[in-house]
Chains A and B, each alone.
Chain A
Amino acid sequence: MKESYSLVFNIKRFDPEKGKSWMQTYRIEAGRILRFTDVLRKINKELDPTLAWNSSCEHAQCGSCSVVINGRPMLACELLVENAVELFGTTVFTIEPIGVAPVLRDLVVDLEKAYDRVHRIRPFIIRPSQNPNQGQEYRISPRAMEGYLEATRCINCFCCATACMSSHRGFMGPNAVMASVVRIMDPREDATDERLQQLYSEEGVYRCHTSKACSHVCPKEIDVAHFVALAKEGEFS
């Protein structure tokens, strides 16, 4: 096992002042258990302080460091150098910003714009249903919760939306569909019809072609395609 690797990072850069984008190559030595965010930080420190990228928690919980690495949308904070070498079979990596929102600079995208589509489906309980246990907390049976618990792990990193076969122009995106499906499956939600109307609209599930790239790339290991397919099945009609 090698202790360090000589990496080549081809990074797509964008200068908003000049409106110019270009690929820039960085050659850097990196330890095998450094994460890609660490390598980007190393580039900032040793080679180029102007390279802009995004991260916050760096524990795969906030979804802000999503980038496209050799064509695959991933969380940079979660990918170790040695795993990347094994996955792609190379030490040369092309890194691009995710494509679901306008690029602000280099690898940083406008996450507010990306979140617009999630906000449109209202990822909260729109109309609370009657609590069967009056005066007590709303109890959800473990069996009911088991059906959608996996989907609640979604961190809206937009890896699924970036990988999707359908473009981002007309589709609300797999994570937004899944968020709506979760609320429908939640017994506390009463606004099923409203949600179905949105899911069965032109920007809803009809834009999904079950290419399942969403499930393939999900860093939280959620089978996103399964939840989208539940809506297609008409399970909630």
Chain B
Amino acid sequence: MAVRSPQTGIDTRISKLLNGIPPLARFTRSRGVPFVISWAHRLSGLLLVVFIGFHIFTLSALTTPAAYADKMKLYQLPVLAFIEWALAIPVLFHALNGGRLILYESFRCRRDDVLLDWAAGLTLLYAGLLALLMLLGNQNVSAVFFWLIAGSAAAAVAYALYARIGRTAHAWSWKLQRITGAFLLVMIPAHFLFMHLGPQMARDAGLVALRMQNPWIKLVDAALVLSAVYHGAYGLNSILNDYVGSKELRWVGSGAIIFVMTIAAVAGLRLIVSI
């Protein structure tokens, strides 16, 4: 038998890159490139769940502008600014790879060889753009205009997926996970981009509060919080179901996930409503 690179054998730039890293090459050789990408998706998802909690906690200081200003000063430290930029890489990778999975699973797009390179290329392009905006730091954008475009685009993507899977016999929990994923595919990268298109509007508590008083922004933010929390909770529960054998432990774990994520959602929504 000639040991082949099977029909899923992906000969792309990203696979060449992964094959050049010995610890990863072991897995690309034994399980394939998408296997390594899937683990990266899972790990970046975990990181994002932690980030959501942290982000909501940071924003909760908005109710006391002085405390918020102190936190924002901290984020302007070069190390934290770098971490903030670096976080954009897993964020965008998770979003684009999620998009690839949706195309594969729901739209029968089997061209992973092309899509994986696109996901990697766009992630790097986005990270570069973000770095540029962070270095320039003097741009400005209308919040309502930006979120009108981004929110509408995200809703259109989510609806396209809903139209595809809405009437299937799938469980609603799964459908909702996919639909929120499609929505977040646009919204989360847009959220990061917005923060650096209007850096002053993100740092000044007064300006943030003013922006959040707009009903459209409130609606967009509420949709963002609810989608992110649901998507994250479903992802965590999925990991639990994959690796925990005991039914009782799974129940306890699911309960804990629902509890923690509900607290995050309530905190986020309370903040949006209270401003």
Instruction: Check B1–A60 contact: CB distance below 8 A.
Output: yes
B 219-247 to A, binary, CB cutoff 8 A, 1 in contact else 0? 00000000000000000001001111100
Given A200-B171, A216-B6, A232-B106, check contact A87 B29 (CB 8 Å).
yes
Contact of A216 among B2, B32, B245 (CB under 8 A): B32
Chain B residue, CB-CB nearest to A72: B30
- The residues in A between 185 and 237 inclusive whose CB is less than 8 angstroms from any CB of B are 193, 196-197, 200, 202, 206-207, 209-213, 215-219, 221, 223, 225-226, 229, 232-234, 237
Are B105 and A206 in contact, with the CB atoms below 8 A?
no
CA distance A167 to B239 in the complex (A): 10
Interface string of A65-90 (1 = CB under 8 A from B): 00000111000001110011011100
Residue A135 is within 8 A (CB to CB) of chain B in the complex: no
Instruction: Flag whether A62 is at the interface (Cβ < 8 A).
Output: no
The answer to whether the Cβ of A158 comes within 8 Å of any Cβ in the partner chain is no
Flag whether A171 is at the interface (Cβ < 8 A).
Answer: yes
Indicate if A170 sits at the interface (CB-CB under 8 A).
Answer: yes
A86 to B199, CA, bound (A): 54
Q: Which of B4, B31, B105, B243 is A213 in contact with, Cβ under 8 Å?
A: B31
Given contacts A170-B241, A171-B242, A200-B171, contact A233 B108 (CB under 8 A): yes
A167 and B243 within 8 A (CB): yes
Least distance between B97 CB and chain A CB atoms (Å): 10
A163 contacts the other chain (CB 8 A):
yes
Is A166 part of the binding interface, using a Cβ–Cβ cutoff of 8 Å?
yes
List the A side residues contacting B252 at CB < 8 Å: none
- A38–B172 CA distance with the chains assembled, in angstroms: 51
- With a cutoff of 8 Å between Cβ atoms, the chain A residues found around residue B104 in the complex are 210, 229
CA distance A26 to B34 in the complex (A): 34
Asked if A212 and B8 sit within 8 Å, CB to CB, the answer is yes
Write the chain B residue with the least CB distance to A88.
B29
Q: Is A155 an interface residue (CB 8 A)?
A: no
- B110-A226 in contact (CB<8A): yes
- Interface residue total, chain A, C-beta cutoff 8 A: 45
* A211 in contact with B7 (CB, 8 Å): no
Least distance between A158 CB and chain B CB atoms (Å)? 15
Kindly state whether residue B101 has any CB partner on chain A within 8 Å: yes
A78 contact set on B, CB distance < 8 A: 1
Say if the beta carbon of B3 comes within 8 Å of chain A.
Answer: yes
Assess whether A213 is in contact with B32, with CB atoms less than 8 Å apart: yes
- Say yes or no: is B270 at the interface (Cβ < 8 Å to chain A): no
Q: A8 in the interface, Cβ–Cβ < 8 Å?
A: no
For A86, A193, A215, A216, the residue with the greatest tally of chain B CB atoms inside 10 Å of its CB is A216
Q: Does A20 contact B (CB under 8 A)?
A: no
Q: Find out whether the CB atom of A232 lies under 8 angstroms from the CB atom of B105.
A: yes
Known: A72-B30, A206-B171, A237-B169. A213 touches B1 (CB 8 A): no
The reply to whether A211 and B106 contact each other, CB–CB distance below 8 Å, is: no
Q: Any chain B CB within 8 A of the CB of A34?
A: no
B27 at the interface (CB under 8 A from A): yes
Q: Does A169 contact B (CB under 8 A)?
A: yes
Residue B35 at the chain A interface, CB threshold 8 Å: yes
B31 A71 Cβ-Cβ under 8 A: yes
Q: Is A165 an interface residue (CB 8 A)?
A: yes
Closest CB-CB distance, A202 to chain B, in whole Å? 6
**CB nearest neighbor in B for A197:** B169
Q: Which of B63-120 contact A (CB under 8 A)?
A: 101, 104-108, 110, 112
19 CB contacts below 8 A, A to B, read A70-B29, A71-B30, A79-B1, A83-B2, A83-B3, A87-B29, A193-B169, A197-B169, A211-B32, A211-B38, A212-B8, A212-B34, A215-B7, A216-B32, A223-B7, A232-B170, A233-B106, A233-B107, A237-B167
Q: Which residues of B contact A (CB under 8 A)?
A: 1-4, 6-9, 26-27, 29-32, 34-35, 37-39, 41-42, 101, 104-108, 110, 112, 164-165, 167-171, 174, 238, 241-245
List the 10 closest pairs (A to B, CB-CB), nearest first: A234-B168, A216-B32, A211-B38, A72-B30, A71-B30, A237-B169, A213-B31, A169-B245, A212-B34, A237-B168
Residues of chain A touching chain B, judged by Cβ–Cβ distance below 8 Å, are 60, 70-72, 78-80, 83-84, 86-88, 163, 165-167, 169-171, 193, 196-197, 200, 202, 206-207, 209-213, 215-219, 221, 223, 225-226, 229, 232-234, 237
